[in-house]
Amino acid sequence: MNASTAPHWQSLLPAAMVGTEKMALAAPALDGAVGALLTQLQAQADSPARALLQSAGVLAVCERAAAQGQPGPAPEAGAAAPDTRPALACGSLGITLRWVLAEAPVRLQIELLQRLDAAGLRLPAALLPLALEAGQRSVALRPALLAVLGERGRWLAKHSSYWRYATGSAAQAPLETRWSEGSLAQRVDLLREERRIDAAGARERLRAALPELPARERAELAAVLADNLSMQDEALLVALCQDRGAEVRQTARALLVRLPLSAPTQRAIARLQACLTPQRVLLVVKKWVIEPPQAAGDDWPADGLQAERPKGESLGERAWWLYQLARQVPLAWWTDHTGMAPAALLQWARKGDWTEALARAWLDVLRLAPDSAWCQAFLDHWPSKALQESPAAVLALLPPAAREPYWTQTLQAMHAGKVTGFNEVASQIVQAYAPGEHVSQPLSALLLEKLPLFLARSSLRIPQDELCCVLHPAVLAALLEPAALGILASPPDDGKARSAAQVLRNSLQVIAARHAFINLCPTPLPDENRT
Amino acid sequence: MQFSAESVLALAPDAASAKAATGLLKPGRWSALGDNAAAVWGQCQGSSGSPYQVQVDLSGPTFKCSCPSHKFPCKHGLALLLLKARDASLFSAEAPPAWVAEWLGARAERAQKKEDKQREKALAPPDPQAALKSAQQRWKQIDAGVAELRQWLLDQVARGLGSVGPASASAWESMAARLVDAKAPGLAQRLRHAADGLLQGGDWPAQTLRRLGLLQLACDAVARRDALDEAAVADLRVLLGWPLDKDAVLARATGVADDWRVLGVIQEERENNLHERRVWLQGERSGRRALLLDHSFGGRGFEQGWLCGTQQAATLAFYPSAAPLRALVAGGAGAAPVTGAQAEAPLPAHGGAQDALAAMPSPGVRAAASAEQEWTAIAGRIAANPWDGLHPLRCAQATPCRDGDGDGHGLHWAGRRLPLEIGQAQGWVLLALSGGQPLSVMGEWNGQTLRPLSAQGADGLWNWSAA
């Protein structure tokens, strides 16, 4: 009920609007003491205008005294289900987490939420709105966030359409609805998920959907076949090699290279084998000689081989042909067929006339199906003359732990006079590790040893906070110690080298937050507010 | 003293200070942290130079810092108290260093001097003849202004509000300005408020009529003030914008000694950089509620801080009123020894509104009154002083809720829904804290919306803050 439309105002308003000079005042008819008072006012007032104003004043006061909000039923949402996990206590860790959710890099947010989850805790109620907002901004944060929302968080998320991602309803929607109505990214995720569980089912789903999809979506979805790839996928991939979209054809051919027994790959092997001849001495293979074809084959276009060199191609015509042929052959064939190890093959290629064609082709195939022996060979014998790229391209194909020796080597070579490469190593490290993962303790120590040398002459390209997030937890305490002693307060001006703790002053909050959550115990902490 | 980090943030003069204080909680910033029963202290490293000496007298809390900031309390003082709230183990209990001891000593001395001065003042009031004459002078001016307002109000209604147009605003403003000249700024403010509502929203005619009606009642009250008792005249003077000065209140009121629980604290910026702070208290033994209303200019802040949820022994002097609520701190617990009789005696004859709460079965603050008692108390206060617009309301067993698709936060309490006046972020926190379960909420009720100042539930405490 709106107070202003109540009958007593309706009787006063016409005269008030038109003016008591022109319209008679109709007294509001009310029972009880208020009605009696209004009647008395009307009788005593020296003018209708005065009676009207006094009546309005009396009614306004009575209304105020009676105002108690609107009657209404209890909230529809009901109460949140009881949480089984204890919440993080709202003490100092709570304050730290508040800062992290509001201002810290997503990488740190993910790490701390993961630690919360590992400790069997959930977010405290007071931080839920902040956390849900952070998840609204960052899709990457959501998996870690959903794990620690608890019943209370899911209940809260239901109250805002912006937080629908956290209510669990999207993931629970029927698979078919998600497939037909989801965004491309969601459909890629869905297909990837299905591919892991039911490879054939996912393939058939893709095959059925292909005719209706635009080229870009066909290419992205077809790439999902890389997971659990098998000969059963050959037919579909061969069909996709004739797709209208160049990107789709390229994706399909790249996947076929990973199926050595597939017909296209067998044809590619046959073509290449014709170019490779052994020179024997007394029946023992002494040397392999490679000679690119003298002319393009008629069957080449069908297999995506271009006879004509693209503009700006650095390879000569026959080298270009060789490069294309080699690009369609699995790396394993080379080692099997020639009996040479990857390192030997790279050295062999370097000595020959066709280094660039071979190195580029191998690198292309290696990218599609990373192989640690080949990666190592490339890193050890980088054909720097033949390739324009840096070894980082291959390094990125290795699992992070396998890359540490390379980073260690690069860092160890640095000294005060030569610090080049630090930025590259630092950004490779940050990219290599997912949030919550970190480099080994020796490498962390090495990074911290070289960082002040580097910062004395140059500046970091990646955010310093990000670098602090991949350091091994065991080195954090040492970075906080000088701070606790107040040593950071006076940076030395005498040109002495500064310590890592000093150069990382601005990231102290990130370091302290990580350190504070390392020892988060799995047992519930007493809730400070309840005591 | 036990207090929460949130209640410390509520002391910040503005949101920026609260944020800056939180940023100072980094390790390495602080050294020589110490505390005793009376104070906490520490040194905070600024961006350069020697560290600042930061200290807080816990009896207030009252802040002092050697930094050059003109904000009060400064971020260092707030951060020190936040550190204390968050991890008391950082502080070593030891004898305070000289710079702390000196300050505490000087403060005690000043407080003593102030008390002496007050006593002197009470013994030797200013010339009563002169005061009376000046008061009569002012009433004469007010009477003239009010007579003009009465006629002006009649004219508006006789001609009809329908003739109001965009040009009317300046005519209303000139009437308001004449009321300021007539030394009745309180009435001028109400008239300006009515003018602001003209032609605003479909509801404006009834809204305007309400405001003019209340002004009419004010005029009537001024006209017959000789027939009113002292308490009602005091309320009338507040309405006119001519409240009793603090010395007069302290000199005439009987102190109410009690352990006062801080129910809620809010600071707001008014026009021209004027900051208003309202501290709502309730006596543990008497059950009485009180409002400490203070103003400060610029970022100077308030000398004494009040931490929401804490309890302070103090003697309050209530402003005379038909529904007494506003009070001043007349002294610490020692200023007037508490006896049972004293705690109950000072209720004035017109204190019917307070009676409803004071007579609650359990006077303990933790046991809140029923909804019925709360609403009756408010109605009683409005009956005693129709112009008082802001009322403390404690809602036990109240459930925060949201309007379907709307943006509004509300509170469901005793079968009714009260719209909440609260920022979006804080509204969500309150909702999260409840999880659909009832909370104990304290806030300011203005007849239409409740502005929550503190809440307590199974999952923790919440209180208003500028952050």
Q: Which helix (H) or strand (E) segment is B282 a member of?
A: strand B274-283
Residues A385 and A413 in one domain: no
Residues B172 and B67 in one domain: no
Residues A513 and A427 in one domain: yes
Residues A111 and A165 in one domain: yes
Q: Please give the Cα distance from A257 to A368 (Å, whole number).
A: 9
Minimal Cα–Cα distance from A467 to chain B, Å?
19
Question: What pLDDT does residue B368 have?
Answer: 60
Lowest mean pLDDT among A163-172, A255-264, B96-105: A163-172
Backbone dihedral angles phi then psi of residue A72, each to the nearest 5 degrees: -160, 155
Flag whether A16 is in a domain.
yes
Flag whether A114 is in a domain.
yes
Q: Which of A12, A68, A158 to mutate to test the interface with B (most CBs of B within 10 A)?
A: A68
Flag whether B459 is in a domain.
yes
Percent of chain B with pLDDT strictly greater than 90: 47
Which is higher by pLDDT, A385 or B335?
A385
Whether A489 and B51 lie within 8 Å, measured CB to CB: yes
Residues of A in contact with B200 (CB under 8 A): none
Structure tokens at B216: 């009419």
Residues 138-177 of B with CB under 8 A from A: 153-155, 157-163
Question: What pLDDT does residue A521 have?
Answer: 66
- Kindly state whether B216 is in contact with chain A, defined as any CB-CB distance less than 8 angstroms: yes
Final residue of a structural domain among B86, B121, B156: B121
Flag whether B259 is in a domain.
yes
Of A530, A514, A529, nearest to A93 by C-alpha is: A514
Flag whether B209 is in a domain.
yes
Is the model's pLDDT at B260 over the cut of 90?
Answer: yes
Residues B250 and B352 in one domain: yes
Average pLDDT of every residue of chain B: 85
Residues B69 and B85 in one domain: yes
Whether B161 and A99 lie within 8 Å, measured CB to CB: no
Residue A343 Cα to chain centre, angstroms: 35
- Kindly state whether B48 is in contact with chain A, defined as any CB-CB distance less than 8 angstroms: no
Residues 444-503 of A with CB under 8 A from B: 480, 482-484, 486, 488-489
- Kindly state whether B440 is in contact with chain A, defined as any CB-CB distance less than 8 angstroms: no
Question: What pLDDT does residue A398 have?
Answer: 85
Q: What is the mean pLDDT of residues B313-327?
A: 93
Flag whether B429 is in a domain.
yes
Residues of B in contact with A55 (CB under 8 A): 213
Residues of A in contact with B155 (CB under 8 A): 49
Which is higher by pLDDT, B465 or B231?
B231
Look up the pTM and report it: 0.76
Is the model's pLDDT at B446 over the cut of 80?
Answer: yes
Minimal Cα–Cα distance from B409 to chain A, Å?
11
Residues of A in contact with B413 (CB under 8 A): 69
Backbone dihedral angles phi then psi of residue A278, each to the nearest 5 degrees: -85, 140
Whether B213 and A54 lie within 8 Å, measured CB to CB: yes
Q: How many domains would you assign to chain A?
A: 5
Residues B114 and B153 in one domain: no
Is the model's pLDDT at B176 over the cut of 80?
Answer: yes
Residues B409 and B325 in one domain: no
Residues B84 and B144 in one domain: no
Q: Please give the Cα distance from B184 to B186 (Å, whole number).
A: 5
Q: What is the mean pLDDT of residues B86-91?
A: 79
For residue B426, give the CATH number of its domain: 2.40.50
Residues 76-135 of A with CB under 8 A from B: 77-80, 87, 90-92, 95, 99, 124-126, 128-130
Final residue of a structural domain among A238, A259, A280: A259
Residues A212 and A206: beta-carbon distance below 8 Å: no
Residues of A in contact with B462 (CB under 8 A): 126
Q: CB-based burial of residue B116 (10 Å sphere; 0-12 exposed, 13-18 middle, 19+ buried)?
A: exposed
Residues A269 and A389 in one domain: yes
Flag whether A295 is in a domain.
yes
Final residue of a structural domain among A395, A413, A429: A395
Residues B116 and B137 in one domain: no
Residues of A in contact with B416 (CB under 8 A): 68-72
Confidence of residue B94 (pLDDT cuts 50, 70, 90): confident
- Give how far Cα A296 sits from Cα of A167, A274, B266, Å: 59, 13, 84
Expressed as residue numbers, the domain containing A372 is: 265-395
Residues A390 and A501 in one domain: no
Whether A16 and B216 lie within 8 Å, measured CB to CB: no
Q: List pLDDT tens digits, range A398-434.
A: 888 888 988 998 899 888 778 888 888 898 899 889 8
Question: What pLDDT does residue A390 have?
Answer: 79
Question: What pLDDT does residue A151 have?
Answer: 93
Minimal Cα–Cα distance from A456 to chain B, Å?
21
Residues A466 and A361 in one domain: no
Residues B86 and B174 in one domain: no
Q: What is the mean pLDDT of residues B43-60?
A: 83
Q: What is the mean pLDDT of residues A79-106?
A: 88
Q: What is the mean pLDDT of residues A306-332?
A: 91
Residues A192 and A227: beta-carbon distance below 8 Å: yes
Residues B132 and B198 in one domain: yes
Is the four-CA dihedral B65, B69, B72, B76 of positive or negative sign? negative
Q: Please give the Cα distance from A185 to A183 (Å, whole number).
A: 5
Confidence of residue B280 (pLDDT cuts 50, 70, 90): very high
Residue of B nearest to A501 (CA): B28
CA angle A520–A524–A527, rounded 5-degree value: 105
Flag whether A76 is in a domain.
no
Which is higher by pLDDT, A54 or B356?
A54
Structure tokens at A517: 């959550």
- Kindly state whether A66 is in contact with chain B, defined as any CB-CB distance less than 8 angstroms: yes
Helix residue spans in A283-327 (DSSP H): 317-327
Minimal Cα–Cα distance from B30 to chain A, Å?
7
Q: Please give the Cα distance from B84 to B8 (Å, whole number).
A: 10
Residue of B nearest to A529 (CA): B460
Residue B69 Cα to chain centre, angstroms: 25
Q: Please give the Cα distance from A145 to A156 (Å, whole number).
A: 14
Question: What pLDDT does residue B28 have?
Answer: 67
Confidence of residue A5 (pLDDT cuts 50, 70, 90): low
Is the model's pLDDT at B199 over the cut of 60?
Answer: yes
Q: Which helix (H) or strand (E) segment is A217 a member of?
A: helix A215-222
Minimal Cα–Cα distance from A143 to chain B, Å?
20
Minimal Cα–Cα distance from B209 to chain A, Å?
6
Of A402, A389, A52, A187, nearest to B157 by C-alpha is: A52
Expressed as residue numbers, the domain containing B179 is: 128-227
Q: Please give the Cα distance from B453 to B467 (Å, whole number).
A: 13
Q: List pLDDT tens digits, range B138-165.
A: 999 999 999 999 999 999 999 999 988 8
Flag whether A70 is in a domain.
no
Final residue of a structural domain among B121, B151, B185: B121
Q: How many domains would you assign to chain B?
A: 4
Residues A297 and A207 in one domain: no
Flag whether B97 is in a domain.
yes
Flag whether A524 is in a domain.
no
Residues B103 and B11 in one domain: yes
Flag whether A72 is in a domain.
no
Residues B47 and B96 in one domain: yes
Question: What pLDDT does residue B123 have?
Answer: 67
Flag whether A82 is in a domain.
no
Residues A202 and A309 in one domain: no
Whether A71 and B415 lie within 8 Å, measured CB to CB: yes
Flag whether B182 is in a domain.
yes
Residues A181 and A166 in one domain: no
Whether A56 and B212 lie within 8 Å, measured CB to CB: yes
Flag whether B240 is in a domain.
no
Final residue of a structural domain among B90, B105, B121: B121
Q: In the 8-state DSSP scheme, what is residue A526?
A: P
Residues A130 and A192 in one domain: no
Residues B21 and B94 in one domain: yes
Is the model's pLDDT at B244 over the cut of 50?
Answer: yes
Residues A321 and A242 in one domain: no
Residues A425 and A495 in one domain: yes
Minimal Cα–Cα distance from B184 to chain A, Å?
19
Question: What pLDDT does residue A1 have?
Answer: 41
Q: What is the mean pLDDT of residues A311-321?
A: 89
